[in-house]
Amino acid sequence: MFRTIRQIIGVAIINIKAIQRQPLWIVQTTISVSAWALTMYAWGSTRALDNLVLVYIVAGSWALGMNTVAQSIGWERLDLIYDSNVASTITLPIYFLGKIMGLAPYFLVNLVISMAVAATTGMRLLLFLPLMFVAVVSLILGSFLSLSIILRLKTPTNISAITNTLRTLTINLPPLYYPLAFLPGMLREASLIIPTVSLMEMARWVIHTPTECDPILSFISLLSWLSVSVLLVAKKLKWGSE
Amino acid sequence: MTKLVAVADGLGRRFGENWGLKDMSLTLEKGKLTVLVGPNGSGKTTTIRILSTLLKPSKGSAEVLGMDVLTDFKKIRKRIAYLPQGYEVNRNLTPAESIKWNLVARGAPINEAGLDAIEWIEKMGLEKCKDRSCWALSGGERRRVAVSIILSTNADLIFLDEPTTGLDVEARYATWKIVRDSLKDGATVLLTTHDMKEAETLADTAIFVKDGRNLMSDNPQKLIDSLPSRYRITIKKEALGDRFVKESVDVGDRLVVYAKDEDEVRRFQADFHDLTGIASVNRVGLEDVYLRLIKGDESYV
């Protein structure tokens, strides 16, 4: 077991070095996340700030999975680092967990700032415990969906262009930063087909705040997406023996 | 008794409609360096990827370290290391970090990995750049880091796919030395190259690969000694005049002809009063073995 933990740390350190050597990426994340919080605060909306706490958890973990982890795996497949790792003592769980650990600082920025925002609105910090469960689901689903697309690319390409677009499509456009109630009646339920919207509803449900739609619908949407993404990734994300 | 580390029998692999590998049989002896040599697209990489358990064979069978590649791949992977062709090191790490943390990722204790990294930095002549991120290194230096990462694992069987591509002469010789030295530590190495000179210099056994098949394999010197000729003479066509040369290889404005022995070389030279017509005289090598093989020369067989 200690050897496995060591291996995960090894993979994590390799990935964390990217952040250490290129710190401007995390500076950008910090500025962006802080700016949104400041904007909402300046407009004086406590409701918006409460919502922002959930967005940072859901969107932060989603982006970690979809944009960061999946992108990193995609690039390592092209650079053949992935193949070298397969033909070694590194297993897929070690690789995946190490990668998440190494790239987690991006999510930690979201977590710290959302906790700071929660403290200003009087939200209980204990509620972050159930929210971490939502974060895990969001991370896994985000990375699997992204990988199911990246791994099907036939020609080497700029993977970032694809994952950044996916990230923007699933976070900025759907009702995450703005309330689901903003959409007219039928569209609210229809929008649950977008996994990030369902994740937001699930986040509201776990901290016992009112949800716009029946939570069952969000669960069904997320379960369906998880099943589909697991199947799609399992077909393509082989750890050797292809 | 010779111990075999890997045995492949009739391996084939299909990619869609095409057979990238058609019929590969080979054995790898423990503690020896075997080189798969052949042109691009001949099946060398596919062979290595099957033996390193990245690909399943479409036909045939293979055992690595006494274990079947289809059923025991997880156990095999614990004892092998693989450097793919075109492998790019993570440029955000320094050479020392690359070796150390890749060893830790493969299970080595952190302190030991750090010491091993220092040792390998010295072996590969990377002291001057050991603390610079790989962004700042040349292509040759990054390649040496990549080779170090794999060789430092002390795996029982090491696969190196074109490890010296892109390296300058000095770096290539340094890599050759390190690869041969790793055999003393008990490793077995399977290396691929399209460079016949590299195969000649490094291999205990050379296996010629073409069109997905093993054409011939043996110790390089035995292969060379089996040729009917000992020398190759490169002559300029313009100096040939009316002379007829019965067996030759056309290389544009020059011809490569073969001589059985030194006497025949001297006779040839005597024939050319103006010796500037002769570009070079060299002993035959693996390249010539390969040329005769693919030409289907019966005098060779």
Inform me whether the pLDDT recorded for B274 exceeds 70: no
Contact state of B56 with A22 under an 8 Å Cβ cutoff: no
Q: Is residue A192 part of a domain?
A: yes
CB A59 within 8 A of CB A171: yes
Report in angstroms the alpha-carbon separations of B212 from A49, B6, B18, B207, B209: 64, 18, 11, 12, 7
CB A163 within 8 A of CB A67: yes
Q: Chain B closest CA to A239's CA: distance in Å?
A: 8
Q: Chain A closest CA to B22's CA: distance in Å?
A: 17
What's the confidence (pLDDT) of residue B244?
65
Q: Between B65 and B124, where is the model more confident? A: B65
* Nearest CB partner across the interface for A90, out of B84, B105, B150: B105
Q: Containing domain of residue A59, as a range?
A: 2-234
Q: Chain A closest CA to B57's CA: distance in Å?
A: 9
Residue B190 DSSP SS3: strand
Inform me whether the pLDDT recorded for B301 exceeds 50: no
Strands (E), chain B: 4-15, 18-29, 33-37, 59-64, 67-68, 80-83, 157-161, 188-193, 205-210, 213-218, 231-236, 248-250, 254-259, 278-283
Q: Is residue A240 part of a domain?
A: no
Residues 6+ apart with CB under 8 A from B234: B251, B254, B255, B256, B278, B279, B280, B281, B282
Beta bridge partners of B193: B37
Q: Residue A98: closest CA among chain B residues belongs to which residue?
A: B105
Q: Is residue A133 part of a domain?
A: yes
Q: Residue A80: closest CA among chain B residues belongs to which residue?
A: B87
Q: Is residue A119 part of a domain?
A: yes
Percent of chain A scoring above 70 in pLDDT = 98
What's the confidence (pLDDT) of residue B273?
62
Inform me whether the pLDDT recorded for B298 exceeds 50: no
pTM of the model: 0.89
Q: Between B77 and B253, where is the model more confident? A: B77
Q: Is residue A241 part of a domain?
A: no
Q: Which of B14, B15, B53 to mutate to test the interface with A (most CBs of A within 10 A)?
A: B53
Chain B neighbors of A10, CB-CB under 8 A: 101-106
What's the confidence (pLDDT) of residue B297?
55
Q: Is residue A239 part of a domain?
A: no
Inform me whether the pLDDT recorded for B299 exceeds 60: no
Q: Is residue A242 part of a domain?
A: no
Mean pLDDT of chain B: 89
- Which ranges of chain A have pLDDT less than 50? none
Chain A neighbors of B90, CB-CB under 8 A: 14, 17-18, 79, 81
Report in angstroms the alpha-carbon separations of A44 from A37, A48, A75, A121, B31: 11, 9, 42, 11, 73
Question: How many angstroms separate the CA atoms of A76 and A31, rounded?
Answer: 28
Q: Chain B closest CA to A241's CA: distance in Å?
A: 5
A contact set with B (CB within 8 A): 3, 6-7, 9-11, 13-14, 17-18, 20-22, 79-81, 83-91, 94, 98, 240-242
Q: What is the pLDDT of residues B134-185, one digit of tens each?
A: 999 988 889 989 999 999 999 999 999 999 988 888 888 888 998 999 998 8
Chain B neighbors of A241, CB-CB under 8 A: 53-56, 70, 73
Q: What is the average per-residue pLDDT within B267-276?
A: 73
CB A149 within 8 A of CB A161: no
Structural domain total, chain A: 1
CB B176 within 8 A of CB B202: yes
Q: In what order do the strands lie in the sheet with B254-259?
A: B248-250, B254-259, B231-236, B278-283
Q: Chain B closest CA to A152's CA: distance in Å?
A: 16
Q: Is residue A83 part of a domain?
A: yes
Question: How many angstroms separate the CA atoms of A73 and B160, rounded?
Answer: 22
Inform me whether the pLDDT recorded for B300 exceeds 50: no
Taking one residue from A and the other from B, the number of pairs with CB-CB distance under 8 angstroms is: 106
Q: What is the pLDDT of residues B32-42, one digit of tens each?
A: 999 999 988 89
